[in-house]
Amino acid sequence: MFALTDIIQAVGLLSCFALLATSRIGACIRWLSFQGILFGLVPLIVHHDGLSIREIALASGNVALKGVIFPWLLLRLRARADYNREVQPFVSFIMSILFGTLALALSVWLTMQMKPALKDAPFVMLDSSIFLIFVGLFLIVSRRNALMQVIGYLVLENGIFVFGVITVVGTPLLVELGVLLDAFVGVFVMGIAIYHINREFGSIDVDRLTVLKG
Amino acid sequence: MPALASLAATVCALVLAPLLFGIVNRTKAFVAGRRGPPLLQLYWDLAKYLRRGAVYGETTSWLFRLGPVIGLATAAAAITVTPFGGIGAPASFTGDLIVLAGLLALGRFATVLAALDTGSSFEGMGASREMHFAALAEPALLLALATLAHATDFVSLTSIYRAIDAAAWTGALPTFALTAMTLVVLLLVENTRIPVDDPTTHLELTMIHEVMVLDHSGPDLGYIHYAAALKLWIIGSLLVGLLVPVRSGDVWLDLAAMLAGMVGLALAIGMVESAMARYRLMHVPQFIVGAATLSAVAFIIRLV
Amino acid sequence: MAILLLLLGGAGAAVGLPSRIGHRVGQAGAVIGSAIGLIPAIRVLAVEVPEGMFGVWHMPGGALHLQIDVVSAFFLIPVFGLSIVTALYGRSYLLVSKSESESAVSWFHLNVLTASMALVIVARDGLLFLLAWEIMALSPFFLVIFDDRKESARHAAWTYLAATHLGTAFLLVMFVVLGGLAGTSNFDAYGAVLRDHPPLASAIFLLALIGFGAKAGVVPAHVWLPEAHPAAPSHASALMSGAMIKVGIYGIVRMLMMLGPPQAWWGWALIAVGATSGVLGVLFALAQHDLKRLLAYHSVENIGIILLGIGVGVLGLATGQPPLAVIGFAAGLLHVVNHCIFKGLLFLGAGAVQHAAHTLDLEELGGLIKPMRWTGTAFLIGSAAIVGLPPLNGFVSEFLLFASGFLAVTHPLAAIATAGLIVIVVMGLISGLAAACFAKAFGIVFLGSPRSTEGAAAHEVARPMIAPMVFLAALCVLIGLAAPAVVAASAGVVAAATGMRVGAVGDELAMASGALTGAVIVFAILIVVGALAWAFRARLLAGVAVPRRPVWGCGYRFPSPRMQYTASSFAQPLVTLFHLFIRTREALVPPKGYFPAASSYSSDSGDPFLHLLFAPTFRWFDRMVSRLNVIQHGHIHVYVLYVALTLVALLIWESF
Amino acid sequence: MHASESIVALLALSILGSLVCLALRRPRHVLMTVVGVSAAQMLLACNIWAAVVSGHGFVSAAGQWLYVDAFSAFHMVVLALVFVLSSAFAAVYFGHEAEDVFTAAVASRFGTLWLGAQGAMLLVLESNNLGIMWVGMEATTLLTAFLISLHPSGLSLEAMWKYLIICSIGIAFAFMGTLLAAASIQSDGATASDALFWTNLASTRAHLDPTLMKFAFVFVLVGYGTKAGLAPIHSWLPDAHSQAPAPVSAMFSGFLLNTALYCIMRFVPPVQHALGQQFPSELLIVFGTLSIMVAAGFIVFQKDAKRLLAYHSVEHMGIITLGYALGPIGSFAALFHTLNHSVCKALAFFAVGRLGQRFGSHDMHAIAGALRADRLWGSALVVSVLALIGVAPFSIFMSEYQLLRAVIGTGAWLTLVVFLAAGGVVFIAALRHLIDMAFGTAGEHDRGARDGAFAAPIVVVATALLLLLGIWMPLPLFDAISSAAAVLAGQP
């Protein structure tokens, strides 16, 4: 069973580095959807007492949302702002990858800090979740394009989701659904915001939004 | 008996004060090889002024008339707190030296305002200079008095001067000597004598005190001159009282000694005036401050 | 205790109906409220039994505890008295100054000011005191900015409130620390705490000196006075300068009473502060062209004099010299009242001048005593009093101060003798300079002939404005002549302030009042001689002709008013002598050639502390701070980075 | 009405109201609905408050899922108060906007989001489950985002985007923290479906893992701290406040920030159980003092009136945080300050908003002589800013005095120096800005345009409140605040 988690971790990390290194937004979105599906399945794998309806609902909801709906939404947005398909990073891709390795090390270290407290959580999942968070943050910080920031946000969301799944057992379904709802609405709102911004500025290039300062 | 003596001293002051100027002028004349005016010249002048009418400037107000009166009144009042050597003043109480300073200040204030009342730029200039020097002279005077008070442990002029006898001198020679020097300077400043001011000059721009009273005439001028004489007498007796420590039991002897001392003072002033030239205006402050420091030094010597 | 309510009532009414009625109500509120407030104060002074009250107040760390003891009563009387006088003066002053509806509101602030001053003085609870103190700091703000169309007024208001607030910060700390140690904010409890911690007492003393000093306007915290007083309406400035800054003195006295047995260096500190403020205050005053600025600087000077007296008193207490302690405190406290009287008078006079001549620039004025007989005479008396000339009230307190100095001088202990000498010399210098300054102020404004057309058009002001001035002038003379009685009467207050027995204090004061009796006798001689001389002169001139001729102009036949000696030229010798402190900025365009074209000279003496210390500091601070801009320059990426970095930093920090 | 019912009713009202607004087609109707709803909720909140204070310390509904104790009840009342004021002001404010600016669509959008946001905040205050609390918090972010850009423009969109991204990330961290907190119980083996109830976490019975609790608190602090606008993670705040319409800004700094702080404070008792008093208060002090200093610095050189107020919010959030860190007296001060600041800041934003409409700009150089241009709002501005910088007799002076007691009581001398110095800077700088705006000859502005019936009452009520609390503390309020502070001290 643990072999499976190892595989997921490996593939997950791969997807992260892909996100860090890809220059075309379309590709990024596809990688994102892949990642969403991948980690959406985690609840099915990491469970302590048999598959319950709860896990299934959770997994399906995630896969549907992060694997299908969000990517679709993002692709449509990209289609609207179609003259702008580049990621346009502040930080070169090489540097991004280097950062990735660094972040990985950091997350492993943090995991080791936390591990003693979380006995029954698989180490690999733990550190990959933290790694996801870092990567998400990095994407938001280092990319000019508004879409990339949404993507980064979703990666971060993935990380937190995975973390929750593997550490906390028995959070009421209500809460989980609420979280999902929020994520959904969040992306939706961001979508609308990007739509407006695009209409207002004729671009979804975030570093034009620097009028307000001081 | 002492009461009688102090009364006599006061009378002497009121009567003989103008004589001092006579002596001064006579001395200067003598040194210059002239005969000079009679000793009683000022008396004749006063009589003449009082008989004359007065002319007033168009811009002046009642303050201009009040000035000389207040000047006279303050001088007269000041006489009553000034001891004549060992002979106590008619009015003597703790802190009467403060009252003395206050009265002098009041007289000066009145004179200056009267001068400003004319609106003449010359008199304004004179007033400004007067205040300029007075602002420095006042602390100097108080400093000197404080030193004397410290040396004699008394806070009343009469008791202070009564305590200044030969024994005290031998006890605190440097202190008294230095303070006396301060008083000399103050005498010259307060009474606007050479080298601070030249009462006989004829160029308004160089005057200090005289220029302030340019527009006064008649009785006012008389008052002013008489008040000036009294002022000279007051500060003179402070100085002489310090320099002539004759405190024999017999008051009349003391009185005589003091009178002699005053005459000597007048002669000395005459000599100084014929010997020295007037300082430039900007040197006068240094002159005063220097004098004040003498007293301070005296005080410090006394402390240790 | 209904005083406060009543005052506030009048105040509220004043703001309620801003119109002519508002004026009436506001004035009535002030007069009636203050009059009623005087009753308990006088009663306490008479029977010397404190009156107090407790109330419920759920504010934690506070209690509603009021008390009028002798000291409070002593300070209440000038506050309320001056409030009445200024109120009587104020209405006719305001009615012509600004649109009625706007100026009516100023009554509200004026009355709140009086009420809060009273509350400060009677408060016996840390929090209550602070509350009242802050209100007292706020209400003048609106009086200073009364004429807010002028940029100067706005800047003055800013300077004022900023300065007072910074002072208040120290008081906050002081009271909170005391309250924390005592476990209660009740004044009675403070004393006990401080007796156990002498070092703390010194710290508290410093805090009090800074905090209250800023309000009283000691150098260098004086910068707000010369800004604020000219800006406010004259009767307000009178109240502020006459009463409000005294509340700072009250605070110092009250703290000294609480701090218990003082230490010698406190006395030295007070003397040092007093001497600096006194001398610098009068020096700066000398250099001013604006009448009200000049008066404001004289407030600084007089605060210095008061502190000198208190300093000598504290020194006396610390070294166990009852005579010194008593005379010193008596001088300081008496000068509080005296300054309240003549400074109030002078500010009201300045207001009258402004009304009559529409300017306070000395160089534009002159000869006002002819059209304005009453104002001129009152102002003259005020000037003579503030200079400390006999036989007026100013002389009385300065006499006491000198006397304490001379007492100290005759003391065998070298330190005390030196202190005495310092006091004497400083006071001598101050009174000499003050004389020069007021010879200038009065002489240039009221004597000679007008230097401008406005000045020429001046007229006497309305009777409701004259009456208060005459009243205050009369008080100056009265206190001067009744000096012995006044001094003897102050025994109770001095005893309370020094914590000595009334009997002992009485004995010490008996000596002083005895001396003053002598002084008064001399004054009597002075007055009699003066009267006689005047009469004699009158008789002499009765017969002969007394013609009027042009003033002697050294042969020049056509002098014009512009050729009179000006204020600046009058003060010039002293200003140059002390230019180290005064720092006058001069602009001179000398005449050139045989037929010189336009040539000009102008001089301006700003406050060196403002121009050389505070303003540069503020500019520097602004520059420093505006560099913060870089951390907020609009890039969302960086903002997110902040969040991330904060998180990571904390995580790492916490992991170790 | 029974208290536990009114808890549900509160939520229901908001949701209902927002749906109704969705349906309404006339701007006036929308505004009236908003006012009506918030007024009704005021009553309900007071009802709950009374029940909590008088009764046995808490009111619960829906089987413990909704749980209100003294602490949350107090916040609830403040929330209701701010909302009544802001809603009434919204009626005034939008009443002055042209028909074609404040169209029916905009109006109904405003009503819906406004009440929705309020519902979300109520959910935060009422829910016992930390997860639901988080959901509510995130919901506020999403709902208020479009309130900022109610009138879409370049600037408002920029502000809205920043707000959206930064706060979403912050909130995400907060969720992480919540998960960690939950995990720290789980790791003890005891599995319970109500694990995330703070009532359980706070109870001394719960065995919490120190390490996880530590990490949890860090995440929560950074997460909700972002939303609360604590320096250095406050960067979204000035932009959002300056671009949002005045009523929205008022609601933002009047209550939204407090809600975030409330969430943080909910975590403090359990953390204290796990790690002792020291750990959380250290962090809180750091953030508090840092916020005060940074805000003070920025206040000095502000040009835009609303940004100025925004930085004031940062400063006061710092003050409140500081208070929470300083023991019982501090908590008392903090809660008292919360009330004062909310009212005062709301009033300030109202005044600036209306004056901005009059002068056609929020630039402080454009606004001059406000007192002459508009007596009512001019004086409102003077009062509110003076109160804001801690001038007596306004209530903020009192709460800051209480805070000072706490600071000195705990002997935190460095904090004391920072607090006083920053306070002095703020005072001097803000006073200069105020004088420039309020006094002097009035600048270019539109005359006429009488304010609605609400205007005067709003100003009077707010001013009266500030003044009254400044000189007199009513006993019930005292009790309420004390019991709320007691909750924080760990005895619910």
Under the banding of pLDDT at 50, 70 and 90, the label for residue C3 is low
Please give the pLDDT value at position B154.
92
Asked if C564 contacts C451 with a C-beta cutoff of 8 angstroms, the reply is yes
At D403, list the tokens: 């805070």
With respect to residue D225, please indicate whether it lies within any of the assigned structural domains.
Answer: no
Q: Which residue of A lies nearest to C625 if distances are taken between CA atoms?
A: A214
Please give the pLDDT value at position C338.
96
DSSP character for C611? I
Kindly tell me the burial class for residue B165, based on how many C-beta atoms sit within 10 Å of its own C-beta (0-12, 13-18, 19 or more): middle
Please give the pLDDT value at position C579.
82
Contact check, Cβ <8 Å, C421/B299: yes
Q: Which residue of C lies nearest to A208 if distances are taken between CA atoms?
A: C635
Q: Which partners does chain C have (≥3 C-beta pairs < 8 Å)?
A: A, B, D
Size of the A and C interface in Cβ pairs below 8 Å: 34
The helix (H) or strand (E) run that includes residue D67 is strand D66-69
Distances (CA, A) of B115 to B118, B284, C451: 6, 21, 17
Q: How many CA atoms lie within 13 A of A38 on its CB side?
A: 26
Please give the pLDDT value at position D62.
77
Q: How do strand D66-69 and strand D58-61 relate by DSSP bridges?
A: antiparallel
At B110, list the tokens: 């009145």
DSSP-derived secondary structure for A55-79:
HHHHHHHHIIIIIIIHHHHHHHHHH
φ, ψ (nearest 5 deg) of residue C602: -145, 145
Residue D63 Rama label (left phi>0; alpha psi -120 to 50; beta): left
Which of C646, C571, C633 is closest to C283 using CA atoms?
C571
Instruction: List residues bridging with C68 in a β-sheet.
Output: C51
Query: Amino acid letter at A186?
Result: G
In sequence order, the 6+-apart residues with CB closer than 8 A to the CB of C453 are: none
With respect to residue D173, please indicate whether it lies within any of the assigned structural domains.
Answer: no
Say if C522 is an interface residue toward chain B (CB within 8 Å).
yes
Chain B CB contacts of C563 below 8 Å: 121
Q: Render the burial of C19-33: b for 16+ CB within 10 Å, e for the rest.
A: eeebbbbbbbbbbbb
CA angle C450, C453, C456 (to 5 degrees): 45
In angstroms, rounded to a whole number, what is the distance separating the alpha carbons of residues A15 and A33? Answer: 10
Question: Helix (H, G, I), strand (E, B), or coil: what is residue C429?
Answer: helix
Please give the pLDDT value at position C8.
55
Question: Helix (H, G, I), strand (E, B), or coil: what is residue A51?
Answer: coil
Q: Which residue of C lies nearest to D162 if distances are taken between CA atoms?
A: C636
Q: How many CA atoms lie within 13 A of C446 on its CB side?
A: 29
- Of D128, D152, D171, which residue constitutes the final position of a domain? D128
Which of B186, B148, B146, B178 is closest to B289 using CA atoms?
B186
DSSP character for C451? S
Chain A CB contacts of D153 below 8 Å: 200
Domain count, chain A: 1
Chain B CB contacts of C432 below 8 Å: 105, 134-139
Q: How many CA atoms lie within 13 A of A65 on its CB side?
A: 23
Which of D407, D377, D406, D393 is closest to D471 using CA atoms?
D393
Mutate to test the interface with D, among C108, C168, C172 (most CBs of D within 10 A): C172
At D384, list the tokens: 């509110």
Residue spans per domain, chain B: 2-127+153-167+195-275
In angstroms, rounded to a whole number, what is the distance separating the alpha carbons of residues A47 and A57? Answer: 13
In angstroms, rounded to a whole number, what is the distance separating the alpha carbons of residues D445 and D443? Answer: 6
pLDDT-flagged residues of chain D (< 70): 1, 186-195, 204-206, 448-449, 491-492
In sequence order, the 6+-apart residues with CB closer than 8 A to the CB of B29 are: B35, B36, B37
With respect to residue A128, please indicate whether it lies within any of the assigned structural domains.
Answer: yes
Q: Which of the given ranges, A7-21, C302-316, D170-184, has the highest pLDDT on average? A: C302-316
Does residue A2 register a pLDDT over 60? no
Contact check, Cβ <8 Å, D431/C161: yes
Q: What is the pLDDT of residues C524-575, one digit of tens each?
A: 999 999 999 999 999 988 878 888 888 877 666 666 777 788 888 888 888 8
Chain centroid offset of residue B251 CA: 24
With respect to residue A56, please indicate whether it lies within any of the assigned structural domains.
Answer: yes
Question: Helix (H, G, I), strand (E, B), or coil: what is residue A88?
Answer: coil
Under the banding of pLDDT at 50, 70 and 90, the label for residue C584 is confident
Kindly tell me the burial class for residue D63, based on how many C-beta atoms sit within 10 Å of its own C-beta (0-12, 13-18, 19 or more): exposed
Q: Measured on CA atoms in the order D416, D418, D419, D421, is the torsion positive or negative?
A: positive
Chain centroid offset of residue D403 CA: 19
Under the banding of pLDDT at 50, 70 and 90, the label for residue B262 is very high
In angstroms, rounded to a whole number, what is the distance separating the alpha carbons of residues C161 and D431? Answer: 8
Question: Helix (H, G, I), strand (E, B), or coil: what is residue C125?
Answer: strand
Q: Render the burial of B76-101: b for 16+ CB within 10 Å, e for the rest.
A: bbbbbbbbbbbbbbbbbbbbbbbbbb
DSSP character for C147? G
At C464, list the tokens: 């409701």
With respect to residue D252, please indicate whether it lies within any of the assigned structural domains.
Answer: no
Question: Helix (H, G, I), strand (E, B), or coil: what is residue C530?
Answer: helix
Strands (DSSP E) along A1-117, which ranges? none
Q: What is the pLDDT of residues C426-471, one digit of tens each?
A: 999 999 999 999 999 999 999 988 888 877 888 888 889 999 999 9
Q: What is the pLDDT of residues C605-636, one digit of tens each?
A: 778 888 888 889 999 998 888 888 888 888 88
Query: Amino acid letter at A129?
Result: S
* Chains C and A, touching by 3 or more CB pairs within 8 angstroms: yes
With respect to residue D154, please indicate whether it lies within any of the assigned structural domains.
Answer: no
DSSP-derived secondary structure for D437-469:
HHSSS--S--------TTHHHHHHHHHHHHHHH
Chain centroid offset of residue C171 CA: 20
In angstroms, rounded to a whole number, what is the distance separating the alpha carbons of residues D443 and D426? Answer: 25
With respect to residue A29, please indicate whether it lies within any of the assigned structural domains.
Answer: yes
Q: Which residue of C lies nearest to D400 if distances are taken between CA atoms?
A: C172
Torsion angle (degrees, nearest 10) of CA A144, A150, A156, A162: -150
Query: How far away is chain A from the Cα of C154, in angstroms, using its nearest Cα?
Result: 26
Q: How many CA atoms lie within 13 A of D210 on its CB side?
A: 7
Domain count, chain D: 2
Distances (CA, A) of D267 to D65, D178, D203: 17, 9, 12
* Chains A and B, touching by 3 or more CB pairs within 8 angstroms: no
Query: How far away is chain C from the Cα of D398, in angstroms, using its nearest Cα?
Result: 8
With respect to residue D480, please indicate whether it lies within any of the assigned structural domains.
Answer: yes
The helix (H) or strand (E) run that includes residue C549 is strand C548-549
With respect to residue A213, please indicate whether it lies within any of the assigned structural domains.
Answer: no
Q: If you average pLDDT over residues A29-36, what whole number do you get? A: 91
Residue in this structure with the two tokens 């409070």, named with its chain if needed: C72
Q: Which residue of B lies nearest to C366 if distances are taken between CA atoms?
A: B119
Distances (CA, A) of A44 to A49, A51, A165, B201: 11, 7, 10, 120
Query: How far away is chain C from the Cα of A207, in angstroms, using its nearest Cα?
Result: 6
More confident residue, A116 or C346: C346
Q: How do strand C64-68 and strand C548-549 relate by DSSP bridges?
A: unpaired
ipTM for the predicted complex: 0.90
Question: Helix (H, G, I), strand (E, B), or coil: what is residue C558?
Answer: coil
Asked if B153 contacts B93 with a C-beta cutoff of 8 angstroms, the reply is no
In angstroms, rounded to a whole number, what is the distance separating the alpha carbons of residues C64 and C58? Answer: 9
What does pLDDT average to over chain B? 91
Chain D CB contacts of C642 below 8 Å: 232-233, 235
Which of A152, A133, A23 is closest to A88 using CA atoms?
A23
Query: How far away is chain B from the Cα of C557, in angstroms, using its nearest Cα?
Result: 12
Domain range for D88 is 1-128
* % of residues, chain D, pLDDT over 90: 60
Under the banding of pLDDT at 50, 70 and 90, the label for residue C5 is low
In angstroms, rounded to a whole number, what is the distance separating the alpha carbons of residues D352 and D283? Answer: 34
Q: How do strand D58-61 and strand C548-549 relate by DSSP bridges?
A: unpaired
Under the banding of pLDDT at 50, 70 and 90, the label for residue B157 is very high
Contact check, Cβ <8 Å, B76/C421: no
Q: How do strand C585-589 and strand C51-55 relate by DSSP bridges?
A: unpaired
Under the banding of pLDDT at 50, 70 and 90, the label for residue A49 is low
Q: How many Cβ atoms from other residues are within 10 Å of residue C261's Cβ?
A: 12
Asked if A140 contacts A153 with a C-beta cutoff of 8 angstroms, the reply is yes
More confident residue, A54 or D91: D91
φ, ψ (nearest 5 deg) of residue D466: -60, -45
Which of C542, C532, C536 is closest to B54 using CA atoms?
C542
CB-closest option in C447, C517, C525 to B77:
C525
* % of residues, chain C, pLDDT over 70: 95
Mutate to test the interface with A, among D140, D161, D249, D303 (most CBs of A within 10 A): D161
With respect to residue D162, please indicate whether it lies within any of the assigned structural domains.
Answer: no
With respect to residue D148, please indicate whether it lies within any of the assigned structural domains.
Answer: no
Residue in this structure with the two tokens 């065998």, named with its chain if needed: C412
Please give the pLDDT value at position C15.
55
Please give the pLDDT value at position D102.
87
Radius of gyration of chain B (CA): 19
Radius of gyration of chain C (CA): 27
- Of D128, D149, D181, which residue constitutes the final position of a domain? D128
D 139-158 residues with CB < 8 A to A: 139, 142, 145-146, 149, 152-155, 157-158
Q: If you average pLDDT over residues B139-151, what whole number do you get? A: 94
Which of B82, B119, B124 is closest to B101 using CA atoms?
B82
Please give the pLDDT value at position C97.
59
Please give the pLDDT value at position C405.
94
Question: Helix (H, G, I), strand (E, B), or coil: what is residue B5?
Answer: helix
Does residue A168 register a pLDDT over 80? no
Q: What is the pLDDT of residues C239-295, one digit of tens each?
A: 999 999 999 999 999 999 988 889 999 999 999 999 999 999 999 999 898 999 999
Q: If you average pLDDT over residues C145-163, what whole number do you get? A: 91
With respect to residue A6, please indicate whether it lies within any of the assigned structural domains.
Answer: yes
Domain range for A69 is 2-208
Asked if C67 contacts C50 with a C-beta cutoff of 8 angstroms, the reply is yes
Asked if D361 contacts D443 with a C-beta cutoff of 8 angstroms, the reply is no
With respect to residue D103, please indicate whether it lies within any of the assigned structural domains.
Answer: yes
